[in-house]
Amino acid sequence: MLGSASPMDWALRQFGNCEFGDVRRTNRFVLLAASAVKNSSESLPAQTGSAGAAKAAYRFLAEPDVTHKAICTPHWEDVRHRARTPGLGAVLFIQDGTELDYTHHPETTGLGFIGDGRGRGIELQTTLCVLPGTPEPEVLGMAFSHIWVRDYEPRGKKETLAMRNARHKESDVWADSLEAIGSPPKRSSGTRWVSVSDRGSDGFSFLARAAAQGWSCLVRSKHNRRLENSDETSRYLHDFARSMPSVDTFTIDLRTRPKKPARRVLLNLAFAPVTLPPPSGTKGKSISAWCIRFGKTRLSNPWNGFLSPPTQSSASRMLWRKWSGTGIDGLSRSITSVSKPDAIWKNGKCLPSKASRHYWDYWVSLPSFCSN
């Protein structure tokens, strides 16, 4: 993210316009941010360099005007502005949630429950903006982050479907992030914003709200949801995905990880259009999307009797490149940017990498990602 800029130049560009009620606070935070960039893995006292400077930093962070939003907004705006540059191609907005555990800070107020309900902390939903280039992706920065807490609710509380749909739910945080970032640039600009998210976002309301904003989406599928106008043998999404014939294969190189050497894996691809009706008892229009199935097979024994090799026809390759716009390589970079290379995801469960030689991963894509 720094590029050729010095830590001070970067901090001034990112946070020089922060509004904390006093320009001296802004200047102090720019210095603090530059020190943090120089020693990003260290604690705040180590970053500031002295006990007095650390005390001043804590005093600054305790000011009522120094909020998460006030600190981050200039950086978010800078990242979104850069992501709108014409001709970038696919720009990935990868979001996921993190639990921050403050159970052992009993004096801290404003916390909610985490984990099994016995811990206390806050939830952080972060959207990272990435250019999926080769050989290494370029991280532009954070496009948005949102802090929220889980409230305790009385056990045994009865709630109708209409009541649940009317209130704000935890699952809404995914679409809230896209709406906070804003509508994507026009397709004619040559830049396409693609939201990439894990199974937590696999809800009909997220897809509907994202489509209304004009976002392209790539969602890892969690629910074996009902399909519209499907035959009796494939009335549900995952059943339909398993029945799709493979279209193409390609390889990707995974970099070295702790205790894991660099390696090459073979992926095979299947995709087909689907129509997702709204859940029963819910108002809304059906959504046209694409069901995408990725399979990973070890190159040492590519098929191992599990499947027949996929078709390699030039027609299928041309159709996929026409539909996807970015081609197979672009989609694979989108998916591998958020896939776990050291584990196997199978039907929503994480298995050790040696548990199986082959697995399927199901994704749902809004049509704007798979069309010209």
Go through the domains of the chain in sequence order and give each one's CATH number.
1-66 (1.10.246.40), 67-370 (3.90.350.10)
The pLDDT value given to residue 98: 92
Tell me the C-alpha distance between 49 and 32, whole Å.
11
The pLDDT value given to residue 311: 35
Residue with tokens 């958020």: 338
Low pLDDT (below 50) residues in the chain:
298-359, 368-372
Q: How is the chain split among helix, strand and coil, in percent rounded to 5? A: 35, 30, 40
* Contact partners, residue 128, CB within 8 Å, separation at least 6: 93, 94, 95, 139, 141, 142, 143
Tell me the C-alpha distance between 271 and 294, whole Å.
9
The pLDDT value given to residue 177: 95
The pLDDT value given to residue 100: 93
pTM of the model: 0.77
The pLDDT value given to residue 299: 40
**Three-class HEC string of 310-336:** CCCCHHHHHHHHHHHCCHHHHHHHHHH
